[in-house]
Structure 1
Amino acid sequence: MKSDKIPVLIRLETVISDDNGEERNSSSHTGMLRRVEHADVITYEEEYEGSMIRNLVTVKSASASIKRSGAVGMHQSFKPDGITENVYQHPHGSLHMETRTERFFHGKGPEGGKLEIAYTVRLNGQEERNHQLMFEYEKEADGE
């Protein structure tokens, strides 16, 4: 059945760069994949400053969105050659976020998929920062 949840291993890598340098982060998570018509929907949780954040990543062939709720909140959308806006909420306040997607790739197979996005973000009208996101998800081994 297409809507069954599949346990997946997730690897997330981000690079943020501007005139002041580069910041790299990588993390691994376990989550659930649900394959629905025309989309992969991945859910997972992560810890942020002692609180949990729930993540919902929806990936289609030509667009993606990341919705975070809990300690931080946002709904960031990625559309090739497009600009999207949202509000990023965190414990210290809210910021207006403008995202411009420059490069978008999604490949998927029977065991998972890979999402690569290059984009810029402008927070509260400040200088743009360059972002690269690599998000891989694959079915957990059954242990057989």
Structure 2
Amino acid sequence: MTAKNVRVKLVTEIRESDRKEEMAMSEAGQYYSRGKTEVLKFTEHPEEGEPINTMVTMKPGHVSIKRTGGVDMRQVFQKQLETENVYHHTYGDFHMRTYTDQIEHQSLEDASSGRLFISYQMTLNHEVTQRHRLTLLFEEESV
């Protein structure tokens, strides 16, 4: 198993009808790889609320994101498939349906920086459907 300290940059873009919202953050994290599986762990520090521990597991054609702390959720992405989960938040629980359009992944094992891009549609509580784009960049921190 390979373990490395990395710098993680996460950019999320949400589109709903004519509205677009973009959020970006950068945190220190750890990267692990074994065989065809890569894991990225980092802690988000939102301006409001508790820190959120995030673990992203990447395998060919399959990505899962688990978040604990300020929020509690596990979201699974599989290309051209719909997945469901519940998002536990201070303000209550939300039912999420996710349809993944596209997953692009570049391993940190193959290049100086790794990249994960996911394009998906998410329906919250059976009502609002939003288009999401998630871009996760990670590169080894120089010692």
TM-score interval (norm. to shorter) = over 0.9
- Asked if 1:62 corresponds to 2:67, the answer is no
Q: C-alpha offsets along residues 54-95 of structure 1, whole Å, 9 cap, x if unaligned?
A: 000001121111000011011001000000011000101000
Counting aligned pairs with the same residue, the percent is 33
Partner of 1:75: 74
CA distance in 1, matches of 2:123, 2:50: 26
Q: Give the structure 1 partner of residue 134 of structure 2.
A: 133
Q: Structure 1, unaligned stretches of length 5 or more? A: none
Counterpart residue identity of residue 133, structure 1: L
Instruction: For 2:49 and 2:80, locate their aligned partners in 1 and report how far apart those are by CA, in whole Å.
Output: 36
Cα offset for 1:19? Answer: 1.3
1:125 partner letter: H
How large is the RMSD of aligned CA atoms in angstroms?
A: 1.2
Question: TM-score of the superposition, structure 2-length normalised?
Answer: 0.93
CA distance in 2, matches of 1:116, 1:84: 17
Counterpart CA distance in 1 for 2:128 and 2:51 is: 29
AA matched with 1:9: R
SS in 2 for 1:51: coil
Paired residue total:
140
